[in-house]
Amino acid sequence: MSPTPSARRRRLGLPRRVFSQVLLMQVAIAAGVAVLATGLFLAPLSKQLDQEAMRRALAIAETTAQDPKIAQGVLSTPPSADGPVQKEAERIRRATHAEYIVVLDRHWIRWSHPTPSEIGRRVSTSPKDALEGKEVMEIDKGTLGRSARGKVPLYDSRHRIIGAVSVGIEYSSVRANLIGAIPGLFAYAGGALAVGALAAWLISRRVQRQTRDLAFSDISALLDEREAMLHGIREGVVALDRAGRIRLLNDEARRLLGIGDEALGQSLDEALGTGRTADVLAGRVTGTDLLTVRGQRVLVANRMPTDDGGAVATLRDRTELEQLGRELDSTRGLIDALRAQDHEHANRMHTLLGLLELEMYDDAVEFVGEVVGDHRVTAEQVTEKIKDPLLAALLVGKATVAAERGVALWISDRTRLPDRLIDPRGLVTVVGNLVDNALDALGGTPHARVEVELRTEGRTAVLRVRDTGPGIPEEQRELVFTDGWSTKKPPAHGKRGLGLSLVRRFAERQGGSATVSEADGGGAEFTVVLPEALTEPGLDAGLEPALTASGPAADEEEAR
């Protein structure tokens, strides 16, 4: 079996950490760029030095050809080592540091040369172009070796070509200039490499902090594990960037929200449309375990900010869980209502038993008829206006408790509540706490009365509970919703001041509100508004969410 890439890297001694690998790669790149830049600079520099040497040779040749002693000497004297042409040419050569200055006639015979023995001989390279009146610049090899040359025609006083002047610059001097420039170039390249290495180190340090000094293989493994985890869990996960755009969706989030990959990069309002779901995920509604409805699903959402300014939101589908507990919840509600009637029922049975023992049979029949008729009318009134069985059972039980206390519990004629509640247990908690609070406030009040109104406006539920008690002073109307605040002495088994705080907490988790004001005719009027409390028409009423163990339903048990 062939070794893996990571095993080969360890065998070759290559570093595994991201910091070391990034630093090594960047330094290698910087060094390569420095070497390449130096090479690219040296190539044109060599040509430039050649051009400068040839132009210098040509300039010396032109200066020499313009000297009248040179032309006059060629016309009037023979070529010799002691002739005026040789003397003048050598003077110019020494003054300009040229390698040689050769003056020749039209027959290619030398009249001057740094080696006197070469005077009177033919030149080794053709001066044809110069003798035709052209200027020549070239790099060529002659009797003195390789040189940069410049050749120009030699004119007499009548501007006739009588010969040519050839000047050479030693090529070794050109090469020496080039070699002399290399250390400076290397110094610049070394400086650039040092700056590049420092920049590479700073970038690598930043990468090290951001990757927490992990190896590339570790990062790859983490990404694979993250993908497997995100798409394997049964909770929806939505990741948002700092601008509120969707940057990640797992499979469950796509299913629960009914959106696909086209939503990536869009804002929540663009992908989901305006509404409570977008508000909850965007953080415009704060809290934990926030309920929202998306299509035919009831979702519980939580949102956690991230260090980069974005956020991660999780979604749980509560409809499937509630489908299993719906029947049990209904049974519990009925049991609670029956328990509330137990005491009054025992008193009536004792009364009936006494009438029978006294053989007052007619009175016993009349008494049974009154009792049965009263309960039939009350149950029919409640169930006619309130279709949810949990809430209806609660109000029937509360009516019995109110009758025991001498308080009349009325259901408002405006009450209409269909059986499409998203969270019936939550609403039972709210109604139960408000009615109990009203009954406590009416203790000892003559002609006491509590009125309950439950109605809907679209998918919004509005609850009002009015009483004829002493009311709540205006300066205390916010304090009554504070956890633990109460005007009554706490019971031995627990504390007071929980019921109304639960009511407000539940309302705010649903995106609604809970307030108190003065009722018409005196007393207190509590108003609770719950937006999106009802499902859309056609959604199975049996698929409604149960509250979590940390929500109002659990807290209600503590309050009681």
**What per-residue confidence (pLDDT) applies to 151?**
92
Residue type, 429: T
**What per-residue confidence (pLDDT) applies to 552?**
37
How is domain 10-213 classified at the CATH fold level? Answer: Beta-Lactamase (3.30.450)
Structure tokens, 461: 């539920």
Place of tokens 């200066």: 63
Instruction: Delimit the CATH 3.30.565.10 region(s) of the chain.
Output: 321-559
Q: Taking the domain 233-317, which CATH number applies?
A: 3.30.450.20
Reported as a single tens digit per residue, the pLDDT across 26-72 is 677 777 776 766 666 666 666 777 778 888 889 999 999 998 888 88
The answer on pLDDT for 545 being more than 60 is no
How far is C-alpha 482 from the geometric centre of its chain's CA atoms? 38
- Say which residues have a Cβ less than 8 Å from residue 216's Cβ, sequence separation at least 6: 16, 18, 21
Nearest partner of 355 among 370, 367, 371, 372, judged by Cα: 367
CB contact at 8 A, 302 and 557: no
Q: How many CB atoms lie within 10 A of CB 339?
A: 10
**Mean pLDDT across 3-10:** 47
Distance, CA of 497 to CA of 491 (rounded, Å) = 11
Distance, CA of 177 to CA of 184 (rounded, Å) = 12
Half-sphere exposure of 40 (CA within 13 A, CB side): 7
Instruction: Delimit the CATH 3.30.450.20 region(s) of the chain.
Output: 10-213, 233-317
Torsion over CA: 42, 43, 45, 49 (sign) = positive
Q: Taking the domain 321-559, which CATH number applies?
A: 3.30.565.10
- Consecutive H or E run containing 500: helix 499-509
Residue type, 334: L
- Longest Cα pair distance anywhere in the chain, in angstroms? 179
User: What phi and psi values does residue 330 have, to the nearest 5 degrees?
Assistant: -60, -40
Produce one character per residue of 231-267: b if its CB has 16 or more CB atoms within 10 Å, e if not: eeeeebbbbbeeebbbeebbebbbebbebeeebeeee
Nearest partner of 256 among 203, 338, 315, 213, judged by Cα: 315
The answer on pLDDT for 339 being more than 50 is yes
Distance, CA of 303 to CA of 233 (rounded, Å) = 17
What pLDDT band is residue 148 in, cutting at 50, 70 and 90? Answer: confident
Structure tokens, 494: 């627990």
Structure tokens, 258: 């009914």
Reported as a single tens digit per residue, the pLDDT across 378-397 is 677 788 888 888 888 888 87
Read out DSSP for 52-115? HHHHHHHHHHHHHHT-HHHHHHHHHS---TTSHHHHHHHHHHHHHT-SEEEEEETT-BBS--SS
**Mean pLDDT across 236-259:** 88
Structure tokens, 146: 């390789």
The answer on pLDDT for 216 being more than 80 is no
**What per-residue confidence (pLDDT) applies to 357?**
82
Angle between helices 424-441 and 499-509 (to 10 degrees): 150
What pLDDT band is residue 204 in, cutting at 50, 70 and 90? Answer: low
